[in-house]
């Protein structure tokens, strides 16, 4: 188990396009295991490989309350979206910040498993948001570009919610 350093906004690597994974070898398996450790350690719901400095099309997600239901996506492609949800979004590469982003409310993703078998993942609500957010990281996109209004501090945002 190893925690990797999370790259933060301003780091050029976050704006680059990641490359497809051709083969899941020991190095890739170790990367995935470290990405899960890093995501759970940072208490995030998703993490993409470029966020730990690796330009490969791999992302991990876990939106469960118990943090015990990891989803590993290799070469994910969004194949369907539907509906709309407007809500707050954050990113481990943009620490302490949050912004309002409108996303589809349903997202269907095709990806490969660690055995390089094709798999389909569908999500609504938070899972849909996480799926699209992580896939966008693999194309060098960060959610801050989509924020309505301005990016806010988490503390400021929580104060507003209480009003």
Binding site for Zn ion (CB under 5 A): 91
Closer CB to Zn ion, residue 24 or residue 59?
Answer: 59
Measured CA to CA in angstroms, residue 41 lies from 7, 13, 85, 105, 155 at distances of 15, 22, 28, 27, 21
Task: Work out how close the CB of 95 gets to Zn ion at its nearest, in angstroms, rounded to a whole number.
Answer: 11
Nearer to Zn ion, 74 or 94 (CB): 94
Query: Least distance in Å: CB of 56 to Zn ion?
Result: 16
Nearest to Zn ion of 119, 144 (CB atom) = 144
3-state helix, strand, coil in the chain (%, to 5): 30, 35, 35
Task: Using alpha carbons, list the distances in angstroms from residue 49 to 18, 66, 76, 82, 92.
Answer: 8, 23, 12, 26, 12
Determine the residue with CB nearest Zn ion. 91
- Closer to Zn ion by CB, 27 or 53: give it: 53
Report whether 19 contacts 57 (CB < 8 A).
yes
Residue 156 is a catalytic residue = no
Q: How far is the CB of 106 from Zn ion (least distance, A)?
A: 20
Active-site pick, 117, 134, 158, 163: 134
DSSP 60: E
Please tell me the number of Cα atoms within 13 Å of 100 on its side-chain side: 11
At its nearest, how many Å lie between Zn ion and the CB of residue 75?
18
**What distance in Å separates the CA atoms of residue 32 and residue 75, rounded to the nearest whole number?**
13
Active site residues: 134
């Amino acid at each position: 188990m190893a925690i990797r350093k999370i790259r933060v906004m301003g780091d050029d690597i976050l704006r680059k396009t990641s490359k497809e994974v051709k083969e899941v070898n020991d190095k890739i398996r170790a990367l995935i295991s470290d990405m899960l450790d890093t995501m759970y350690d940072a208490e995030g719901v998703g993490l993409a490989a470029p966020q730990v400095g690796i330009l490969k099309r791999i992302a991990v997600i876990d939106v469960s309350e118990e943090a015990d239901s990891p989803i590993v996506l290799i070469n994910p492609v969004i194949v369907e979206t539907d509906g709309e949800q407007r809500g707050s979004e954050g990113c481990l590469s943009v620490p302490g910040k949050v912004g309002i982003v409108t996303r589809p409310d349903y997202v269907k993703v095709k990806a490969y498993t660690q055995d390089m078998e094709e798999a389909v993942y569908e999500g609504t609500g938070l899972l849909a948001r996480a799926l699209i957010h992580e896939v966008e990281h693999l194309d060098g996109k960060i959610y801050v570009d989509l924020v309505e209004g301005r990016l806010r501090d988490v503390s400021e945002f929580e104060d507003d919610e209480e009003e």
